[in-house]
Amino acid sequence: MPPIKLALVGLGKIARDQHLPALAANPDYQLIALVSRSIHEQQALTVAFPEAKLFTDLDQLLASGLEIDAVSLCAPPQVRHAQAARALAAGCDVMLEKPPGSGINDVQALIHQAERHGRVLFATWHSRYAPQVEPARAWLESKRVTALKVSWREDVRHWHFNQEWVWQPGGLGVFDPGINALSIVTRLLPDGLYLTKARLDFPSNRQTPIAARLEGALAGRASGPVEIELDWLKTGEQSWDIEIGTDQGRIELTHGGSRMLIDGEQIAVAGEQEYPGLYARFSELVARRKSDVDLTPLALAADAFLLGERREVDAFEW
């Protein structure tokens, strides 16, 4: 199969740090277009990708006549539906950065549109490709889960400095990183979980939460409590930890899923492989002409907002 002619839309931190290196290392792709409103600041990227043409928006790219097979959308979720709809209508396969949209129904509309146009739609959850997620899932298959505890704490000033979209409606606030934890646990626990209670802390000058505490229960053959703590004001060492109790011991995933411990003993440590895994998966889906859109993590985040007791906290400033 010839390389997929791909356009990368949105050149923020996640695109520069993760998407571009993954694309550069994958021969299944030919990056032929870069799209950003601040494209004049991105001229240096053409050194690494000399075949890539620069555009200031997706409409300009689609009107250019440049032949593209697929687009990877890394712009904020509030604009992702409109961009994906235009790309699908233009005959492109589409890969969505997480979260796939700012709501559930807008992504469902994209699913139907992709089906109508015979295009591939891939809603990515990069944390599911952390190296210890699948080994942990295999270990859990023969166990009965009895408890789930998640602690996801990071510093918004480090990861999203001056990115105002995270505080605007649809930006998800602390659920932007927190949904990574939700994507992992919904992969590890095939019978799922549900929320019964939520408390969301909103800075007095912002429209999305900066911290959250979620409570719930395990579903299906599992039985036990669910506790999820999300914090976007963690200074110093960041922590992304999941602890699962079972009838045959306790498993922990730490460092976002790169380390695994069983009953406190470290079993495995591995380097980051999330975005190479995403692009390998997208290439496979394109070859098979098959979409992959799982909305379960987004539905859990939406449930938290529906259930959430709102608590106003101190104003947040960068």
**Using one digit for the tens of pLDDT, what is the confidence trace for 29-69?**
999 999 988 766 566 666 678 889 999 999 999 999 999 99
Rounded mean pLDDT of 244-261? 96
**Is residue 163 predicted with pLDDT exceeding 90?**
yes
State the helix-helix crossing angle for 296-307 and 104-117, rounded to 10 degrees: 150
**Closest among 197, 195, 95, 201 to 156, alpha carbons compared:** 201
The residue from 5, 98, 143, 149 that is catalytic is: 98
Q: What's the Cα-to-Cα distance from 317 to each of 96, 205, 224, rounded to whole Å? A: 29, 9, 39
How far apart, in whole angstroms, are the C-alpha atoms of residue 272 and residue 256? 10
Question: 247-252: long-range contacts (C-beta < 8 A, 24 or more apart)?
Answer: 247/143, 247/144, 247/146, 248/142, 248/143, 248/144, 249/143, 251/136, 251/139, 251/140
Burial class (CB within 10 angstroms; exposed 0-12, middle 13-18, buried 19+) of 294: middle
Q: How far is C-alpha 92 from the chain's CA centre?
A: 21
Q: What's the Cα-to-Cα distance from 60 to each of 166, 169, 301, 306, rounded to whole Å? A: 26, 27, 34, 38
User: What is the average pLDDT value for the chain, to the nearest integer?
Assistant: 94
Residues of the chain with pLDDT > 90, as a percent, come to 89
The length of the chain is 318
Is pLDDT larger for residue 126 or for residue 222? 126
At which residue do the structure tokens 């979209």 appear?
165
Active site residue 98: yes
Q: What pTM was computed for the model?
A: 0.95
Tens of pLDDT, residue by residue over 263-296, are 999 987 777 789 999 999 999 999 999 999 999 9
Burial class (CB within 10 angstroms; exposed 0-12, middle 13-18, buried 19+) of 93: buried
Domains and CATH numbers, the chain: 4-123 (3.40.50.720), 127-273+302-313 (3.30.360.10)
